[in-house]
């Protein structure tokens, strides 16, 4: 049996600049668990059994199992699909990591990340940046520089207990279509021609990196807010009505930061940052939405063979 697990991704400050149309890219993101887990169970009959999934089917085409390897593919996720936490990329990374182990290959995490990106963009024809695949494969808190999409330079940032303690991950109750949101934004950028919002997103990522290195939680919160403001400026629909309502609740509770995760749009999730435990608890208690469990992930792709 082979089990491959990857973290989800939240609080992607500078997101959108890691795309083919938004660069150069500057992104700070945070990998969290629970994430996505893929289990390959031997069946003994040579068959490959799995629930319908374009990502699973594409992964099987990229790394076909040995002819005599009958497997059942079981997928579990600690975060809802389409919640803006990079679950599609995490699934792709987990699948390719598990299949490479099944075939006796040893791929480095970066190799798996870029292969997962090709799976989504080239094989499935989806719109996707590179940050989610890198977060799933590498884990931790990373600052990415993407000057020649999709190649990225990765700066691994030190863990920060206060950041994890202050964060609340709020699921807005419905999934969103990340690739569809990308298409709307691309159309808007082409029509508008302005790069001001993308410049603001890049600046927010740098501010977040500097705040983390300085251990300045207030400054990190300001970078989150600046990013969300830039998301709104990039396209008015990126911060939906439900997300705006959660942000207002957060603001009234004394939160110091808020970030609509991933592509944003109608649905998805929001990361909220408090610097006082009692304020965080009051905020969570008054929410009409689900708070998802999360812990910053020290590692990325983990493959276990038994």
* C-alpha separations of 126 from 61, 139, 144 in Å: 17, 23, 21
Answer yes or no: do 209 and 247 share one domain.
Answer: yes
Q: Return the H-helix or E-strand segment holding 222.
A: helix 217-234
* Overall average pLDDT of the 2-16 stretch: 97
Domain harbouring 249, CATH code = 3.30.70.890
Residue 136 has pLDDT above 90, yes or no: yes
Phi, psi of 47 (to 5 degrees): -90, 160
**pLDDT score of 84 more than 70:** yes
Q: What is the mean pLDDT of residues 47-71?
A: 93
Residues 152 and 8 in one domain: yes
What proportion of the chain, given as a percentage, has pLDDT over 70? 95
Same domain, 180 and 272: yes
Q: Is the pTM of this model over 0.75?
A: yes
Indicate whether 6 and 60 sit together in one domain. Answer: yes
CATH classification of the domain holding 116:
3.30.230.10
142 and 8 in one domain?
yes
Same domain, 16 and 145: yes
* pLDDT at res. 82: 83
3-state secondary structure 109-138: HHHHHHHHHHHHHHHCCCCCCCHHHHHHHH
**Which two structure tokens, joined as six digits, stand for 192?**
């508008």
Confidence of residue 69 (pLDDT cuts 50, 70, 90): confident
| Average pLDDT estimate for 121-143 | 96
Kindly state whether residues 148 and 12 are assigned to the same domain.
yes
Position 30 pLDDT exceeds 70: yes
Total number of domains constituting the chain:
2
Q: Band of the pLDDT at 178, cuts 50, 70, 90?
A: low
DSSP code for 221:
H
Per-residue confidence (pLDDT) for residue 12, from 0 to 100: 97
Supply the pLDDT for residue 265. 75
Q: Which residues constitute the domain of residue 261?
A: 161-293
**Mean pLDDT, residues 99-109 taken together:** 94
C-alpha 35/C-alpha 53 separation (Å) is 18
Tell whether 24 and 144 lie within a shared domain. Answer: yes
Report which of 278, 214, 283 is spatially closest to residue 248, judged by C-alpha positions.
283
What is the dihedral angle through the alpha carbons of 92, 113, 168, 292, rounded to the nearest 10 degrees?
20
CA-nearest of 61, 13, 54 to 211 is 13
Q: Which of 68-77, 147-156, 185-194, 195-204 has the lowest mean pLDDT?
A: 185-194
User: Torsion angle, CA of 223/130/5/173, rounded to 10 degrees?
Assistant: 60
226 plus 176 within the same structural domain: yes
pLDDT higher than 60, residue 147: yes
Window from 56-60, 161-165, 189-193 with minimum mean pLDDT: 189-193
pLDDT tens-place string over residues 185-216: 777 677 676 689 999 999 999 999 999 999 99
**Residues 41 and 72 occupy one common structural domain:** yes
Looking at the predicted structure, is the pLDDT value of residue 177 above 60? no
Note whether 33 and 100 are same-domain residues.
yes
Tell me the average pLDDT across 234-249: 92
Beta bridge partners of 260: 270
**pLDDT higher than threshold 90 for residue 179:** no
Q: Are residue 129 and residue 20 in the same domain, yes or no?
A: yes
């Amino acid at each position: 049996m082979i089990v491959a697990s990857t973290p989800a991704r939240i609080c992607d400050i500078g997101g959108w600049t890691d795309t083919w149309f938004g660069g150069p890219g500057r992104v700070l993101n945070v990998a969290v668990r629970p994430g996505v887990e893929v289990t390959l169970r031997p069946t003994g009959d040579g068959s490959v059994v799995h629930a319908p999934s374009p990502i699973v089917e594409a992964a099987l085409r990229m790394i076909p199992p040995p002819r005599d390897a009958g497997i059942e593919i079981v997928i579990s996720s600690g975060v809802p699909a389409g919640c803006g936490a990079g679950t599609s990329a995490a699934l792709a990374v987990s699948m390719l990591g598990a299949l490479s182990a099944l075939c006796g290959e040893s791929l480095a995490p970066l190799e798996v990340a870029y292969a997962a990106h090709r799976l989504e963009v080239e094989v499935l024809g989806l719109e996707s940046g590179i940050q989610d695949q890198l977060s799933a494969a590498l884990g931790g808190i990373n600052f990415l520089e993407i000057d020649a999409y999709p190649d990225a330079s990765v700066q691994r940032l030190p863990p920060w207990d206060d950041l994890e303690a202050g964060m609340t991950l709020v699921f807005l109750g419905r999934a969103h279509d990340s690739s569809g949101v990308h298409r709307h934004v691309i159309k808007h950028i082409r029509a508008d021609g302005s790069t001001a919002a993308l410049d603001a997103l890049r600046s927010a990522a740098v501010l977040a990196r500097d705040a983390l290195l300085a251990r300045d939680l207030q400054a990190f919160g300001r970078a989150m807010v600046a990013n969300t403001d830039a998301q709104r400026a990039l396209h008015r629909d990126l911060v939906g009505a439900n997300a705006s309502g959660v942000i207002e609740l957060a603001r009234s509770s004394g939160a110091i930061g808020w970030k609509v995760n991933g592509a944003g749009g109608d649905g998805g999730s929001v990361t909220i940052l408090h610097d006082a435990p009692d304020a965080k608890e009051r905020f969570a208690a008054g929410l009409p939405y689900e708070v998802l469990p999360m812990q910053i992930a020290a590692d990325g792709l983990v493959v276990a063979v038994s």
